[in-house]
Structure 1
Amino acid sequence: EEYELGDLSVALDTFAKEEVTRMTGKEGYEFGDLSVEIDARVKRAVGEFTGKVTYTPGDLQAEIRRRVAKQVLEYTGKDGYEFGDITREINRRRAVWVESYLGREGYEFGDLTKKALADFTGKKEGEYRFGDISKAIGSKLFGPRKRKRDD
């Protein structure tokens, strides 16, 4: 059988119509069946997500807004939402973490670095000297440095 102009288009059209018929479960294809099927599936999915039986426009947006608001209130521990609540809560939690990490109140710029260096090198805060990080890495990788004594 030889190819004629339009054979591919006819084959693709037939295939597409068969697939739409399979998806819809209908006998035969009618123009618009795919759009109707997709619309019905989306509405069903929105209904499952929202817990509603009947779909009305805006249901998805309203449900997302409701869920986000619930999560924000749980996160902030508040009964209502005001603009900036999430940022304020993040800052509050950061401050609590910093105080916990430092073991004291009254954070000043550089305190976290001093504490991290002290923890890493084993020295007291503020006693860091140039080379301490390299020495600490060497010690952690190769063990404590052993010095020879001249007798």
Structure 2
Amino acid sequence: MHKNTICLWYDGAAEDAACFYAGVFPDSRVEAVHRAPTDFPGGKAGDVLTVQFTVLGIPCLGLNGGPIFPHTEAFSFQVTTEDQAETDRYWDAIVGNGGAESACGWCKDRWGLNWQITPRTLTEALAAGGDEAARAFAVMMTMTRIDVAAIDAARKGEA
């Protein structure tokens, strides 16, 4: 067991979400499903209560706590991608499975969890600072899914 685990609150769908993440992202898996020993607010004895899983090497616990605390943009997973194909693969998996697009490389999965699908070139441009960062940032602000070629062009001053 890990000393630090991210606990994510779900409205009854922790197992479905964990299985989806395990199928989409490398170094991801469902490790254990625990059922409630008795009735609990929002559930009955025998219902899935918690799910231990890993997403991209990060240990998580999915808690089926009911509708009281929905996910917000205050928490997101940021996934670094190497190229447009990888960016598209993750974006399409999340959005195409009942999720929703947002701005600047953010999207939301069907369970309300937020994801930042961030190509490495964007992070490098912002870290470079100065005009390169300003150009890449300005182009990024016009996007939903990040366009790697457009970010690269902006980095070079070609946009």
TM-score, normalization by structure 2: 0.19
| Larger relative contact order (Cα-Cα within 8 Å, sequence gap ≥ 6) | 2
Structure of larger gyration radius: 1
> Could you say which structure has the higher helix fraction?
1
TM-score, normalization by structure 1: 0.20
